[in-house]
Structure 1
Amino acid sequence: MIDLARVRAQTPGCARVTHLNNAGAALPPAPVIDAVNRHFALESTIGGYEAAEAAAAALDDFYPAVAALIGARPDEIAYVENATRAFDLAFYAIPFSPGDRILTTVSEYSSNAIAYRQVADATGAGVEVVPDGPDGLVSLDALAAALARPGARLVSLNHVPTSNGLVNPVAEVGRLCREAGVLFLLDACQSVGQLSVDVGAIGCDLLSATGRKFLRGPRGTGFLYARADVARTLVPPFLDTMSATWHPTGGYEIRPDARRFETWERNMAGQIGLGVAARYAADVGIEAIEERVTGLAARLRAALAERPGVTVLDRGPRPSGIVTFTVDGVEPGAVKEALRAKDVNVSVTLPHGHGYDPGAVREAVRASVHYYNSEDELDTLLDALPVTAGTP
């Protein structure tokens, strides 16, 4: 059971806004804010290098903190500046050849799809979109059939799409990948911090995630998980003195662990803050977080569905904390601004620009709840929602 009064008291932003844009960037808790500010203040008073030396223990704690949250080992975690960079570092390290097949899903994120296309064009690999089942989830039967054909090199998909509420069956995907001996790269940008994510149970080889969303960490932070036996087989697209050791004879040696994907220069305050955010989420309890987030989202969907002219767009048997909808006769941007005027934060998502679904709606309102949101805040959104055009 989450102590709502306590977590709200530890979230300064709750006193100012009704924040339902957690899929964009969540409100950080006080321990994260304090950790980041404290290290930046230290840098400003004694110097950046000196501050890093003084904070060595806090910097090092990032690795076990994140590893514990997702069921990994500390040497399987790399600190990077965002989820996109984490994803790209893993994806571009895979040596594709002509005839290799990259399997993905209809709801894939557009940044990932661009990377697939660029690499496919450069290497002669192909990109195949595995169709959805009737519930909107990636079809496991279609994926099994695709994996059975020669040339499958990688399965890469999102855990939770950015533009609707569904949660893909990633553990089942992982099982199929293991049986086929095919790499599995999971984009967990929208799931880490709101859902229970265990890389062992999922069976993914690589996973990318961000700090700023449901993990409630600083913006401009993220991490990459690379399974130990996979990490040492991949050569990152670029190296420096963090990821490799230079030998004066003219050679170099790449680190054997996931930190081969890191660079030496990084936001030290951000790394400390992200580690604190991971510890904070673990202390609250990720199972309790998932239960509250999905419960709040279900309550909001049900209330929205009762409103005349409101269409809820989410799919899947057990959707996530992301709630997407449209209001007849009112542009999503206008809905967002009307809510913003009442100090309610939501965002506008562009489903037609995310993935391979030409039939997706052009724009939708996205309200994404988190465990620190209250039921009263959901009512605040509903009360501030613009009336459907033509409704008396």
Structure 2
Amino acid sequence: MRTIVRPVALPPGRRVLVISDLHGNLPLLKGLLRKVGFSGEDILIVLGDILERNEGSLDTLRYVMELSERYTVHTILGNCDNIVPAFADDRPDIPQEFYERWFRMQGERCLLVKMAHLAGVEVTSRLDFPAARAAINRDFGPELDFLRGLPHILVNDDYLFVHGGVPREERLEELDAHSCMKNDDFLGQGYSFHRWVVVGHWPVTLYHSHIPSAKPILLYDRHIASIDGGCTLKADGQLNALILPERPGGEFSYVAYDGFPVMTALDDQAPSEDSINIRWGRSALEVLEKGEEFSRCRHLESGRVLDVLTEYLRYDERGVHCEDSTDYRLPVKAGERLSVVRRTSRGTLAKKDGATGWYSGRLKEE
């Protein structure tokens, strides 16, 4: 599939907000737009992955469509978004085996399964695909047309917006579209650019080996901004809005929203001097002692021993893994506000400035 590239105009004097990887989380999208004060004077760029992994995908898609009718909104196709029109059009770029596996794993967190269900068709095997495809095309024409019409890249003289990443800035139409949408570990590939290349797709916490952080990563020397805050995919995820500089070459800023309750810290706490961020793809464990709330574990890659929330443990044919976990202690001053991810008998898993860690002090509800 060839890459669809479109020019994007960003007139001076208008604030430009860039968001990515909503993954069907409409409450976080609405909360972020409220927090950032989104209005008709702004330009909103959505870097893709509006959909999937959340039962709210259909409502989120329709909300983005509504915003696109009322405001200046530019949306890019992400790899998760591409699943829907590819199935509806019976395109060969995604094999049928993928859909069988994806439908089984995600259930109604997959938009296609939910669409088929709403259209009166159950999808339990490949034999159901023709009926599901026909029903989805019949009942969800506007949604499909919106997704079919999205480009893979938006570009002007100063910026290139793409969901996953690109290997170059020239001859963009010749690139493979799937590689632009699904480009894992883009920052690790060593590219540098003349334009600023703004991407989502890869939750930024995956780039941090010691301290979990969902803040956008801005590489000024390489002109790359990576902004996926792990919304929906991570238990401590957030949705980031990158705010472009008023003039090219200026400083970026951002606003984030995670939806967690906010409390005020009453005690100081020094940060830990050494910590680990156990994250997806590098999360294999040996359980040394399983407990009701915490389990003592050895992280196989690093050899580090730490306590992991027992509910974060996952068992499959590969062994034991965990949701993203850390032993990092946040630096906290009394009076600071923290987002509370989880309260436990041993302290609070909290967030400050996008970083996740543990806080053992007292908290006051706001």
TM-score by length of 1: 0.26
Higher strand share: 2
Higher helix share: 1
